[in-house]
Amino acid sequence: MQVADQENQAPQQQTTAVHAYNPEVLQDMLPVYYRRLFPHLPFYRWLSYGSSEDAIFSNREISFTLPDDIYIRYLCFDTQAELEKEICSRNPIKIDIGPVMHTKPKNHRSIPGGLTPVQRELVFDIDMTDYDDVRTCCSGAEVCLKCWKFMVLAARVLDVALREDFGFEHIIWIFSGRRGIHCWVCDHQARHLDARGRYAVAEYLNIITYANFSGTNSPRCAMGERPHHSLKRALKIVEPMFEEVILEDQNLFGTPKGVTKLLNMVHDDAARGELESYLQKNLEDGAHSRLIWESFNKYASSMRTSTANAWSRKLKNIVSEVQLGLLYPRLDINVTRGFNHLLKAPFCIHPATGKVCVPFSVSAVAKFDPTTVPTITQLLHEINAFDDKSKSYMEAPEDKSRIKDHKKTSMFKGVVVFEEFLRKLERNQKSASLQF
């Protein structure tokens, strides 16, 4: 149902090109954005968790980044009104969310022994730059629809693992505004995991290791004799997309350098040499990835069935290992491990792109297009256009119209996803409190 909603609310995309974002005027636009568009109330509803625990909102560390890289940490707010007032008066370029501390973080200087975090969402950060060695379409900060598919797979694999294996339900996914995605797991148990627990979950989900090959790192994923169910499930998600993403879109093995990448993933020196000469003999340089992959598959399976050798033991699962190695989510596990790590809040504006950090629904992640995520410039034009058309803004009292402003814009669906997440979270809290 959620998916259908998003479809219907297709934004006016033609405006994107017309109103290009200019980073220099961001400071002038932010006051309007925070006053009229930022979803203050849902934001508060999220972080207060229905006030289910003592001081859960007021002891939360929030930090602001102001112009000229002025970074203010250890802020905290008692009420929604106070937070909203502060955001609207300071107009931060970026808002970060830290842990809930044992006491008010703003008193951090006067507390003997310093602040101790008591709870914090379990967070994941996946950055497109970690995929630079497997994408040929863009590099660095750029992102296009082709490379977004890596994020699609990452979100799907992680989301299902968190739900099925760990039993987490309240998971919100956020587009980070430029090239990555964030995931916040907000279940009670996830928020209360200690450092060791976070480390264990992060390691459980982090299957990729890197082996150094003459200066370049080659991803590795060891599946072992009997692959763990989580790896098998990940493979089921990744495998159907492998041809499209790696072979067609990226044509990753289409150059001699690309073939080396494939070879480097074969973790046996002798076998790698054999494969290399086999490929050289049978294919010419620059053959399409599809052909390379077919030959590789054929060779691996023929070697596996012939006699006992590295291919039938150590490299038994090599085909699957390459698929997972290239497409399994590449986590920045330090973000997940850290109890104290600050992470950018949803609905911030990314200062370089002007794009809103919008939540998205995992079930519709394939339809999410990072290149058409609304920029602040576009949003402001959209409200103006709407106001001009209806003239309601001038006549209606400001308070009323403000609540609904985001509905006039293409930010709408992001807020809907967020509210859907909140509704489930709050329903859960209600039923939990009824049990007592």
Partner 1 sequence: MEFGLKKRARHEVKVEVASLETKYPHNVMLYHYPPTEDVHIDEFEELALERLRLLRVLDRASNRNQRLLSDEWKENVSADLTREGLRSYLRLCSAGGSTKHEADIQTRRRDYLSHFILRLAYCRSEDLARWFVAREMELFRYKFAALSSAEVKQFLEANGFEIHPLSEAQKDEVKDGLYESTAGQSVAKIELLDFYKVPFTQVLDLVRGRRCYLKAGFAYVNTHDLVSLVGTKQQDEIEQGLQAAKTMVDDVEADERISRTLKALHNSYTGRDYTVCRDAAIPIESLDQLSKTSMPLCMRMCHEHIRAQHHIKHNGRMQYGLFIKGIGVTLEDSLRFWREEFTKKMDADKFARSYEYNIYHNYGKKGSMVNYTPYSCAKIIKDATGPGDCHGCPYKYMDQGSLKTKLSSYGLSASAVDEVMSFVSRGHYQIACGKYFQITHNSTVEPTIIHPNNYFEESQITMGNRQKRTNGPALPKARIKDIKGHGDRSMLMGEDDDELWRIAETQERIMQSQKDISEAFNDDLDLTQIDY
CA dist list (Å): 40 to 21, 43, 48, 305: 24, 5, 12, 62
Residue closer to partner 1 by CB (options 54, 69) is 69
Pick one of 7, 28, 139, 204: the residue that binds partner 1 (CB under 8 A).
204
Contact 124, 183 (CB under 8 A): yes
Residues 104-163, interacting with partner 1 (CB under 8 A): 130, 132-133
Smallest distance from the beta carbon of 32 to partner 1, in angstroms? Answer: 29
DSSP state of 360: E
Say which of 84, 96, 121, 125 is annotated catalytic: 125
Say which of 84, 127, 130, 159 is annotated catalytic: 127
**Residue 23 within binding range of partner 1, rule CB under 8 A:** no
Residue closer to partner 1 by CB (options 130, 321) is 130
Can you tell me the distance from the alpha carbon of 51 to that of 429, in angstroms, rounded to the nearest whole number? 10
Which one of the spans 195-203, 250-258, 318-326, 339-347 is the region binding partner 1 (CB under 8 A)?
195-203
Token pair listed for 218: 């080659």
Smallest distance from the beta carbon of 195 to partner 1, in angstroms? Answer: 10
Residue closer to partner 1 by CB (options 203, 244) is 203
3-state secondary structure 119-150: ECCEEEEEEHHHHHHHCCCCCCCCCCHHHHHH
Query: Is-catalytic flag, 130?
Result: no
Alpha-carbon 384 to chain mean position: 31
Residues 219-248, interacting with partner 1 (CB under 8 A): 226-232
Give the chain's end-to-end CA distance (angstroms, integer): 33
Pick one of 24, 269, 285, 399: the residue that binds partner 1 (CB under 8 A).
269
Can you tell me the distance from the alpha carbon of 409 to that of 204, in angstroms, rounded to the nearest whole number? 40
Query: Is-catalytic flag, 127?
Result: yes
Q: Could you give the angle at which helices 318-327 and 229-242 cross, rounded to 10 degrees?
A: 80
Size of the site for partner 1 (CB under 8 A): 39
Pick one of 164, 244, 369, 388: the residue that binds partner 1 (CB under 8 A).
164
Is 166 exposed, middle or buried (CB count within 10 Å of its CB: 0-12, 13-18, 19+)? middle
Residues 377-396, interacting with partner 1 (CB under 8 A): none
Can you tell me the distance from the alpha carbon of 431 to that of 270, in angstroms, rounded to the nearest whole number? 60
DSSP string over 267-291:
--HHHHHHHHHHHHHHS-TT--HHH
> In which residue are the tokens 């990753």 written?
252
**Residue 217 within binding range of partner 1, rule CB under 8 A:** yes
Pick one of 12, 209, 302, 384: the residue that binds partner 1 (CB under 8 A).
209
Smallest distance from the beta carbon of 240 to partner 1, in angstroms? Answer: 21
Which one of the spans 32-40, 175-183, 190-198, 279-287 is the region binding partner 1 (CB under 8 A)?
190-198
Query: Is-catalytic flag, 125?
Result: yes
Residues with catalytic annotation?
61, 125, 127
List residues near partner 1 by CB under 8 A. 69, 130, 132-133, 164-168, 189, 193, 196-197, 199-201, 203-204, 207, 209-218, 226-232, 264, 269, 333
